[in-house]
Amino acid sequence: MLIKEVERVLPEIKAELAEIQARSDKAKAQLAEFQASSDKATAELAQATTKSNPLKDVAAPGPVVPYSNPLSVAEAAEGWISLFDGHSLFGWEPNDKGVNWSIADGSITADSGPKGLLLTYTPFADYQFRCDFQMAAGGNSGVFLRTLADPQSVETDCYEVNIVDEHPAGFLTGSIVALQKTAEPIQGSGGWHTFLLTADGTKITVTLDGKEVAVYDDTRPDARRSGLIGLQKNEGKIEFKNIALKPLNQKPLFNGTDLSGWRVVPGSKGEFTFEDGTIHVKGGEGFLESETQHKDFVLQAQARTNAEDVNTGIFFRAEAGTEKAKSNGYEMQVDNSLPKIDISDSDLDIPFRSGSHPFEKPLPANAGTGAIFRRVNARCVVASDKEWATVTLIASGPRFSTYVNGYAVVHWEDTRKLDPNPRKGLRLDAGHFSLQGHDPGTDASFQVITVSDLP
């Protein structure tokens, strides 16, 4: 009886299974068709994005590390910049890779390898430089000012401020080697010490632990007027921390009383007005261009975006603006907009990017203030909308460094072929500065705009 019942329903079950299989095959075919269509759409979107996205070829930004800025708010506003982020060698390069430069306990340190210098990414001319240092007993180190990358003579290729316990010619700690001794012998070991070194025109001044110990006025016709800054490892262990610099002899580009020295580029739709001691940029694309041109320089300015997600910038080494080509130049971006997606609670292994921790700074949504737009993004967003931020831009040949509130966000070298238009290639010639009105939503202010040309 059971067998007959099975034989009776078996065809029905087989038919149902066949129908289910058919529906399954149809679903699989539809899924495959959908997947193929999706893949095609994704490819088309990627192609379209590549064609329309000007940021696709930007260089990798600097390292994302816990945010640490030793400068006070007042120091940043005065123009001080921090040359060491406390966690990486961003902005420093060794002239001999055999030296074991590293980061330990918040300091730059080295204790083995040949004699060598750790050099700043770009040169400086007139400045105050300060750092804390600690040297092992019997060691030999120093800070090199206005130096060549590989100095051969301490008399002509640099100014070496010595850190040492013994010296055969008596140029002990604080002395400018071969040029100026301290009045009294000073040893460099014995705990942490602080240098304040001033290079101002022909004069080099050394202050150690708050006391002026050496002054040298170099009136030689071939005296060095600019160069890199180098930290030296010679003998024994040396440590440096709290490394900062303030450019000197900056000249105003904006007089703070009117728009003299600037012109609105023809065809600009944005408005550029003088308001309460500031240059106000509002509404629509346009450019306010400096009358002067500059090649290698240190530019400092205070910028404020007056609403959220405002996009503006400072163009530099720009060709003279015309109605058809308003600003063909490099752009230092001013944009503090943040990503709209918070990844702070995700499982992604992307440290220090959400900005939710007090020692973190978020990644930028649109290159970020301090970026060289379309070339390299800022490594993090330091400034905030509706607040004044001090931006520093250093241009030296093909190399550029930017700082926001004294914190380094970009060190970048333009390796493209020469071209008079920086949008297309490397421009080394002098050019104009331009303040940008980006779109109808632009609302920004600029003040205290200064520049010094590098010799």
- Amino acid letter, residue 393: L
Question: Is pLDDT of 313 > 90?
Answer: yes
Determine the pLDDT at residue 14.
76
User: In Å, what is the CA distance from 228 to each residue of 71, 102, 127?
Assistant: 22, 20, 12
What pLDDT band is residue 73 in, cutting at 50, 70 and 90?
very high
- Its CATH class, for the domain covering 84-247, is mainly beta
Pick from 11-20, 339-348, 430-439 the range whose average pLDDT is largest.
430-439
Pick from 28-42, 61-75, 243-257 the range whose average pLDDT is largest.
243-257
Domain coordinates in residue numbering, the chain: 1-53, 84-247, 251-453
What is the value of pTM for the model shown?
A: 0.85
Lowest mean pLDDT among 163-167, 270-274, 337-341, 409-413: 337-341
Contact 385, 305 (CB under 8 A): yes
What pLDDT band is residue 201 in, cutting at 50, 70 and 90?
very high
pLDDT tens sequence across 388-398 = 999 999 999 99
> Whole-angstrom Cα distance, residue 13 to residue 1?
18
What pLDDT band is residue 2 in, cutting at 50, 70 and 90?
low
What token pair was written down for 186? 């000073």
pLDDT tens sequence across 75-109 = 999 999 999 999 999 999 999 999 999 999 999 99
What pLDDT band is residue 27 in, cutting at 50, 70 and 90?
low
Question: What are the strands, taking DSSP E only, across 124-165?
Answer: 127-135, 140-147, 159-164
Question: Is pLDDT of 44 > 50?
Answer: no
What pLDDT band is residue 45 in, cutting at 50, 70 and 90?
very low
> Three-state secondary structure along 164-217?
ECCCCCCCCCCCECCCECCCCCCCCECCCEEEEEEEECCEEEEEECCEEEEEEE
Determine the pLDDT at residue 38.
42
Contact 119, 92 (CB under 8 A): yes
What pLDDT band is residue 256 in, cutting at 50, 70 and 90?
very high
Decide which of 349 and 143 is more confident: 143
Determine the pLDDT at residue 386.
97
Determine the pLDDT at residue 356.
47
pLDDT tens sequence across 139-149 = 999 999 999 99
> Whole-angstrom Cα distance, residue 149 to residue 131?
20
pLDDT tens sequence across 216-243 = 999 999 999 999 999 999 999 999 999 9
Determine the pLDDT at residue 21.
78
Average model confidence (pLDDT) for the chain? 90
pLDDT tens sequence across 14-26 = 777 677 777 767 7
> Whole-angstrom Cα distance, residue 92 to residue 74?
25
What pLDDT band is residue 270 in, cutting at 50, 70 and 90?
very high
Are the folds of 84-247 and 251-453 the same? yes
- 251-453 CATH pick, 2.60.120.560, 1.10.3720.10, 2.40.10.220, 3.40.30.10: 2.60.120.560
Question: Is pLDDT of 360 > 50?
Answer: yes
Determine the pLDDT at residue 25.
75
Average of per-residue pLDDT across 30-53? 47
